[in-house]
Structure 1
Amino acid sequence: MEIRNITPEDFDDVLDVRRRSFGPVPAADREKWRQAALVTVAEGRYLGAFDGSRLAAAARLRRFTQWWHGRPQAMAGVAGVTVNPEDRGRGVGTRIMRAVMDRAVELGDAVSALYPATTPIYRGIGYEHAGARRTVRLPAESLRRIRPSGPVKLRRMGPGDGGEVVSVLHRAHAAARSSGPISYDEHTWNLWLADEDDFLYLADDGYAIYRWKGGDIEVENLVAASPDTLRALWSMVGSASSVARDIVATVAPDDPVLWLLPDRTKEQVTETRWMFRVLDVAAAVGRRGYPAHAACDAVVTVDDPTRGGGTWRLDISGGSGTATPAEGPGVTLSVNGFSALYAGIPPYTLRLSGLMSGDDRHDQALEAAFAARPYMLDYF
């Protein structure tokens, strides 16, 4: 079995593997898929496992920006991991995933995330549960009662506005000190903004993407960095209440719209879990944001059989951190445990689940430094 780059000549075979793994790609979506895949191929972010000339498996690395406590860093989003039915159970999926992680590091990514179709294979190579994409079903009438609080200029957006969306996300997630959300690159955003079935609106410090889905309104993305824009966008979505009964919205766990609702007693919430992995300890620690008041000086050993582990001294203060090679006893974590800690899972939880052991003197400091409530608004 040979691992090599996917080329455009392989696209029909890739779509066939996808069809056998996830079901057919609708004809209307194939061209958009090809356009997005061409960019991934050009960047060396699409890999295939070949048995001779036959494609057995494929996986791609999406180029994302991800925020951790408001600080952006490059993140490898693993997507489209597919294995032909006749090749399953032979270790092909694990092999291509190891190649994907190596390629991500080569391209400069220190962290990676994915939405798992099944947990064991990814947990076995170091990915761990970190956060969720959270959707909530709300009565459309409740959103219509949200009134604009000031003048906000909204305009329709489309292809060519990807750069503005990226700029809004950088400002909004920095201000909110967000952890977990992602942004596509400008080119990919422009592809998504070409969908004629979506309603797309842009403000100076926010945007909304929503559509009809059956008799409901589905809000895929709504981001706002000021109270006026928040109210204006949600009020506009709620104006569909004369026809739509419910709004199904992707929101952050503490999204401010939930505190604007006139009545909030019961909520129908769906969570789609995503997994996270640290690929390069030193780079990942150095690129992450931290609470400004938190301080931590601890020796941490990370056991990573796939990528190679080591021992580091973590020095975190003033909102920044470093990891330098060290020796001596300290905290010991599997790479799954360190990835979970990085994503804000408390040391107490990690110790009880067997992902963390050793010196516990710095547990409280580690918990404060890596505190986070990670979420995503996008599925990939």
Structure 2
Amino acid sequence: MEIRQLVAEEFEVSADLGEYAFQYKLSPVERAERRTHFRPEQAWGAFEDGQLQARLLLLPLQIYIQGKPFDMGGIAGVASWPENRRSGLVRHLFNQVLSVMKEQGQTISCLNPFSFAYYRKFGWEQMTELRKYTIPVNQFPARKSFKGRVSRDTKDIALLDEIYRPYAQRYNGMLLRDHEWWERRVLDADSHDVVYYSEEGTPQGYAIYKVANRELTIEEFIYHNEVAREALWTYYANHDSMVEQAVVECIPLDDFFPFMLDNPRFKQEINPYFMARIVDAAAFISEYTFQAFEAETKLMLRIEDTSAAWNDGVWELSISPDGSGRLDKLAGSLAEAELDLAFDIRTLTTMLMGYRRPLEMYRCGRLVGQEAVVNTLERLIPVGTVYLTDSF
């Protein structure tokens, strides 16, 4: 077996595998467009006798955590031919790309799973959920008079990104988007955008949406304040003669919009979404900021990671009063009595991303130690909301 990056001439066989595995068929135009954007350096394959047997994409991305950009390896397009499934090819691919991500300084990785159980075997863990609302038009928020204005179909990526960035920094997990990502992944020919400007002319919110078959589909709803939210909903309420309902996709879990309606009884769905895994625990901790505390805290940890040996072992976690952390690997092993906490890389990831709290992990048996020590960790990890509107 050979694990390596693809070359440009291998686009066709990679595309064939993708079509077969994900059960779609590209038109000649679509295939030509994908060939134009094919980046072989981002495609990793497992080859036997020179033939591509499995592949995945490793996307160099960044996400916000605690308002700061973290380099992230995005995993996408994991596929293998059916005759090769369950033969360990994907595990070999993951072992390779985890090492590559570590070398490239990508301290965390995210993916959109076809199966949560499958990717948990390799150290990824659920990091977020999404809400989805289906609201009949007669339950839309009441129209409000507002100062400022809304502008439809600006198609101005720089403007939309200017509004998006400060909103995204409020959450753990949101992508930093470049122009190409906006153009190819966010906006499309069927989408409309609407931007709210304050009375002073400052852009303070936008939404991306589609209207078809008497349904308004809101794909992204970003706002800096309540005035912007009300102005955008007033704009949508003016579609009442055109639509019967609105489907609002990709709502963060801290949203309390239903509470503000006269009748909050409409269809509300919560769906498990992306997974994440810390690639390099020591490097990730060095970038992470814990809650400030009056004295330095030191904890002895046992971290289990069966797919990234450099994370596996006994560590000393030191957290300074200013919240900066350091993870030092200890030689040998400690007796169980000397350890403060024991957990796997999945548990560490979900806690530091903010999706699950230490006390939750302790109560379900995923975090082992004395409850008093768990309470210390609970105090040190900042409370945050995980959110991701994108997909890859």
- For the superposition of Structure 1 and Structure 2, which TM-score range results when normalised by the shorter chain? 0.7 to 0.9
Q: CA 1:307 to 1:193, structure 2 compared with 1: closer, same or farther past 3 Å? A: closer
Residue 84 of structure 2 is matched in structure 1 by 87
Q: 1:257 Cα shift?
A: 3.8
**Which amino acid counterpart does residue 166 of structure 2 have in structure 1?**
R
Residue 178 of structure 1 is matched in structure 2 by 171
Q: CA 1:182 to 1:135, structure 2 compared with 1: closer, same or farther past 3 Å? A: farther
Matches within 5 A, 1:266-305: 266-289=266-289, 297-299=297-299, 300-305=301-306
The DSSP-based 3-state class of the residue aligned with 1:55 is strand
Matches within 5 A, 1:304-315: 304-308=305-309, 309-310=312-313, 311-315=315-319
Residue 3 of structure 1 is matched in structure 2 by 3
| 1:176-212 deviations in Å (ceiling 9; x for gaps) | x322222333322122455211112345233221113
| Structure 2 Cα separation of the partners of residues 291 and 148 of structure 1 | 41
1:337 aligns with 2:341: no
**Which amino acid counterpart does residue 216 of structure 1 have in structure 2?**
E
Q: 1:374 Cα shift?
A: 1.7
| 1:17-70 deviations in Å (ceiling 9; x for gaps) | 1121111144365455445543xx3xx322111223321111112333322233
| Structure 2 Cα separation of the partners of residues 214 and 292 of structure 1 | 53
1:364 aligns with 2:370: no
Equivalent residues of 2:134, 2:266 under 8 A apart? no
Deviates more, 1:213-222 or 1:161-170: 161-170
Equivalent residues of 1:111, 1:284 under 8 A apart? yes
The DSSP-based 3-state class of the residue aligned with 2:189 is coil
**Which amino acid counterpart does residue 115 of structure 2 have in structure 1?**
T
Q: CA 1:9 to 1:148, structure 2 compared with 1: closer, same or farther past 3 Å? A: farther
| Structure 2 Cα separation of the partners of residues 288 and 339 of structure 1 | 12
Equivalent residues of 2:254, 2:385 under 8 A apart? no
Matches within 5 A, 1:52-63: 52-63=49-60
| Structure 2 Cα separation of the partners of residues 127 and 216 of structure 1 | 36
**Which amino acid counterpart does residue 371 of structure 1 have in structure 2?**
V
| Structure 2 Cα separation of the partners of residues 378 and 146 of structure 1 | 29
Unaligned runs of 5+ in 2: 197-202, 331-337
| 1:267-298 deviations in Å (ceiling 9; x for gaps) | 33141422110111122223335556898824
Q: CA 1:273 to 1:157, structure 2 compared with 1: closer, same or farther past 3 Å? A: same
| Structure 1 Cα separation of the partners of residues 165 and 346 of structure 2 | 28
| 1:108-142 deviations in Å (ceiling 9; x for gaps) | 21011111111233111111122123322122343
Equivalent residues of 2:61, 2:175 under 8 A apart? yes
How many corresponding residue pairs?
371
The DSSP-based 3-state class of the residue aligned with 1:24 is coil
| 1:85-120 deviations in Å (ceiling 9; x for gaps) | 111110112221222222222222101111111123
Q: 1:307 Cα shift?
A: 1.3
| Structure 2 Cα separation of the partners of residues 234 and 248 of structure 1 | 13
Residue 323 of structure 1 is matched in structure 2 by 326
The DSSP-based 3-state class of the residue aligned with 1:244 is coil
| Structure 2 Cα separation of the partners of residues 232 and 294 of structure 1 | 44
Q: TM-score when scaled to structure 2? A: 0.84
Q: CA 1:173 to 1:201, structure 2 compared with 1: closer, same or farther past 3 Å? A: same
The DSSP-based 3-state class of the residue aligned with 2:308 is coil
Identity of aligned residues (%): 22
Equivalent residues of 2:305, 2:345 under 8 A apart? yes
Q: CA 1:193 to 1:276, structure 2 compared with 1: closer, same or farther past 3 Å? A: closer
Q: CA 1:193 to 1:330, structure 2 compared with 1: closer, same or farther past 3 Å? A: closer
Q: CA 1:303 to 1:272, structure 2 compared with 1: closer, same or farther past 3 Å? A: closer
Equivalent residues of 1:109, 1:279 under 8 A apart? yes
Equivalent residues of 2:286, 2:327 under 8 A apart? no
**Which amino acid counterpart does residue 222 of structure 1 have in structure 2?**
F
**Which amino acid counterpart does residue 304 of structure 1 have in structure 2?**
D
Q: CA 1:7 to 1:164, structure 2 compared with 1: closer, same or farther past 3 Å? A: farther
| Structure 2 Cα separation of the partners of residues 148 and 294 of structure 1 | 49
Equivalent residues of 1:71, 1:289 under 8 A apart? no
| Structure 1 Cα separation of the partners of residues 61 and 143 of structure 2 | 33
Matches within 5 A, 1:1-380: 1-27=1-27, 29-30=30-31, 33-38=34-39, 41=40, 44-143=41-140, 145-147=142-144, 149-158=146-155, 161-174=156-169, 177-192=170-185, 195-203=188-196, 204-212=203-211, 214-249=213-248, 250-255=250-255, 257-289=257-289, 297-299=297-299, 300-308=301-309, 309-310=312-313, 311-315=315-319, 318=322, 320-325=323-328, 327=330, 329-344=339-354, 345-368=356-379, 369-380=381-392
Deviates more, 1:186-195 or 1:48-57: 186-195
**Which amino acid counterpart does residue 180 of structure 2 have in structure 1?**
H
Equivalent residues of 2:136, 2:246 under 8 A apart? yes
| Structure 2 Cα separation of the partners of residues 285 and 279 of structure 1 | 11
CA RMSD of aligned residues (A): 2.7
| 1:286-344 deviations in Å (ceiling 9; x for gaps) | 333555689882423322222122413141655x4312315562211111121122133
| 1:155-186 deviations in Å (ceiling 9; x for gaps) | 5233xx44444433321233xx3222223333
Residue 199 of structure 2 is matched in structure 1 by none
Which of the pair has more CA radius of gyration?
Answer: 2
Equivalent residues of 1:230, 1:257 under 8 A apart? no
Equivalent residues of 1:281, 1:323 under 8 A apart? no
